[in-house]
Amino acid sequence: MADSCPMRASLQVAKKLLKWRTRGELTNVADGDSKASRSISKRLFESLGVTASGSADPDGGEAGAKFEDAVRRFLASALGSDFDVGRGRDISEFEQYAHLRRVEAMVRDDTSGLLLDALGGDYRIKPDVVVSRSGDTDTPFLHASVSCKWTIRSDRVQNIRHEANMMIRHRRGRVPHIVAVTAEPLPSRLKSIALGTGELDCVYHVALPELANALDGLELKDQREELSRLIAQRRLADLGDLPSTLAR
């Protein structure tokens, strides 16, 4: 692995993107309607020494794209030359899903539209970040699919689960690692994606130790217990742990 200290490098993914919407009051990962979200994220920012301010909406496409690229760059650096790390590649470009090209061609050539009605377009998936082994053939094996969600809302949870289910269902061969990366500060929302029926290997947080420390100083017992449970059940880990998991 190229990066000798991935934990420290992973924290930089967070620190470069975390900003105060209103200095000292509202962070760009907080849900303004949730007191717990505001309190936890404020304490997290203070512990990280985040001082930058900005008006960008974290739900916007630009912020999401920056987050995806930050995660891609971190993984590329941490994994080194043994892996190729890219963004926005269709899963049909990879060995387990190459047959989907034929499916798409059949749907495209069916002028009746019956195949499209029957199959829909759910098989056309472009994960936020993809990882494959360097030196693979022209149709490389998809080693990992990484969904990057700046924060967690109910619609994003459904999107992540849906894509994961489609990748499991349509594969021809071994399932790739399927994980999610987020900066969501509220454990009850992390729970909504980290727990479930096992569509994802694990959810990775950009600053998990710091998030746990932030909760220690707040009167939010339920949220602390939720976070501890997710960590104990190995459903939530720090982003710094992801490279070593993928490199096994």
DSSP 94-109: SGGGTHHHHHHHHHHH
pLDDT digits (tens, 9 = 90+) for 10-30: 888 877 888 888 766 789 999
* Helices and strands (H, E) in the chain, number of each type: 10, 8
Using a cut of 0.85, tell me whether the model's pTM lies above it. yes
Write out the DSSP string of 76-131: HHHHGGGEEEEES--GGGSGGGTHHHHHHHHHHH-TT-HHHHHHTTTT----SEEE
Sort residue 20 into left (φ over 0), alpha (ψ -120 to 50) or beta. Answer: beta
Let me know if residue 119 belongs to a domain: no
Let me know if residue 110 belongs to a domain: no
* Closest of 88, 80, 87, 14 to residue 52, by C-alpha: 14
Let me know if residue 111 belongs to a domain: no
Let me know if residue 97 belongs to a domain: no
Let me know if residue 101 belongs to a domain: no
pLDDT digits (tens, 9 = 90+) for 91-131: 999 999 988 877 766 666 656 665 555 555 565 789 999 99
Find the domain containing 49 and state its range.
Answer: 6-91+125-246
Let me know if residue 120 belongs to a domain: no
Cα four-point dihedral sign 229, 144, 59, 66: positive
- Which CATH number characterizes residue 164's domain? 3.40.50.10010
- Contact in structure between 108 and 39 (CB atoms under 8 Å): no
> What's the total number of domains in the chain?
1
With cut-offs at 50, 70 and 90, classify the pLDDT of residue 80: very high
